[in-house]
């Protein structure tokens, strides 16, 4: 039986690697990203190599109408989604008071609003079919307050909390929700966020493929929270033994970029 995976932010990084893993498993793909050129390259390559069907939607998901357009187009073609992967998102570095407000608002629109909207659209059908896997790409940032990236950290906290709550609500329905929580990863995220000069990106960090493989396995198992990397899991575990104020100061020192 044919299966379909919808992946947002599919043109690069973790999203691209997750899409490739689904392609290797012979899942048909619905790829969503802003770059039409990159999406078409992936479509042509994977259709030829894996003999699967690939549909692409080049659009900005921070505009709510686009998620609805995607859902309506799939319904029109009688396509049901078996795997829903909400990966699209971005961050921005700097003191909150000095960052561009429009960037923070756009971040919330993509990281929070679009993710929520897409789940609202596709979840009822999954429940009706009695099966489905949802992965929301959060971050270890979701466990902490994040000076210099306050809005990004807050957005990932929302994603983590929403995922855990939905996973609980959906028990017994055949639908699972997984929050994938990677730490710093080799991708274009740091460049987009103006954060590449941070010391946390100078050490050995996992590749996007490493994270994607881990996340895919966790999603298939129906795991609710999947923190990638032993160091990251220890950091989250240890955070419960310090005060929130102390924790915030630690994160600040870790993230601060000194001239």
CA-to-CA distance for 92 and 64, rounded, in angstroms? 21
Separation between Cα atoms, residue 18 and residue 32, nearest integer Å: 13
- Active-site residue, 152 included: yes
Count CA atoms closer than 13 A to 258's CA, side-chain side: 4
Q: Are 61 and 114 in contact (CB under 8 A)?
A: yes
**Residue 71 near residue 116, CB atoms below 8 Å:** no
Task: From the candidates 4, 152, 153, 158, give the one annotated as an active-site residue.
Answer: 152
Are 83 and 135 in contact by the 8 Å Cβ rule? The answer is: yes
The set of residues, in sequence order, having a beta carbon less than 8 Å from that of 92 and lying 6+ positions away, is 99, 103, 104, 107, 149, 151, 152, 193, 194
User: What one-character-per-residue DSSP string does 79-131 give?
Assistant: ---SEEEE-------S-GGGS-HHHHHHHHIIIIIIHHHHHHHHHHHHHHHT-
What are the residue numbers of the active site? 152
């Amino acid at each position: 039986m044919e299966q379909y995976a919808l992946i947002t932010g599919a043109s690069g990084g973790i999203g691209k690697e997750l899409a490739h893993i689904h392609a290797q498993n012979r899942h048909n793909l619905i790829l969503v990203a802003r770059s039409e050129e990159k999406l078409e390259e992936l479509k042509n390559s994977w259709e030829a190599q894996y003999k699967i069907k690939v549909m692409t939607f080049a659009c900005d998901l921070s505009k709510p109408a686009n998620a609805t357009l995607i859902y309506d187009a799939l319904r029109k073609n009688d396509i049901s989604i078996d795997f829903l992967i909400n990966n699209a998102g971005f961050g921005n570095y700097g003191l909150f008071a000095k960052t561009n407000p429009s960037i923070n608002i756009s971040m919330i629109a993509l990281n929070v609003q679009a993710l929520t909207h897409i789940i609202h659209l596709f979840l009822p059908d999954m429940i009706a079919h009695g099966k489905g896997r949802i992965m929301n790409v959060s971050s270890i940032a979701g466990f902490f307050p994040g000076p210099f990236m306050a809005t990004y950290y807050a957005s990932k906290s929302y994603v983590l909390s929403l995922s855990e709550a939905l996973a609980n609500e959906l028990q017994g329905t055949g639908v699972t929700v997984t929050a994938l929580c990677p730490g710093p990863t080799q991708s274009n995220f740091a460049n987009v966020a103006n954060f590449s000069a941070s010391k946390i990106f100078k050490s050995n960090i996992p590749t996007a493929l490493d994270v994607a493989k881990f996340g895919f396995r966790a999603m298939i198992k129906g795991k609710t929270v999947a923190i990638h990397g032993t160091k990251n899991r220890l950091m989250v575990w240890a955070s419960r033994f310090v005060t929130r104020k102390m924790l915030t100061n630690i994160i600040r020192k870790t993230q601060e970029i000194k001239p």
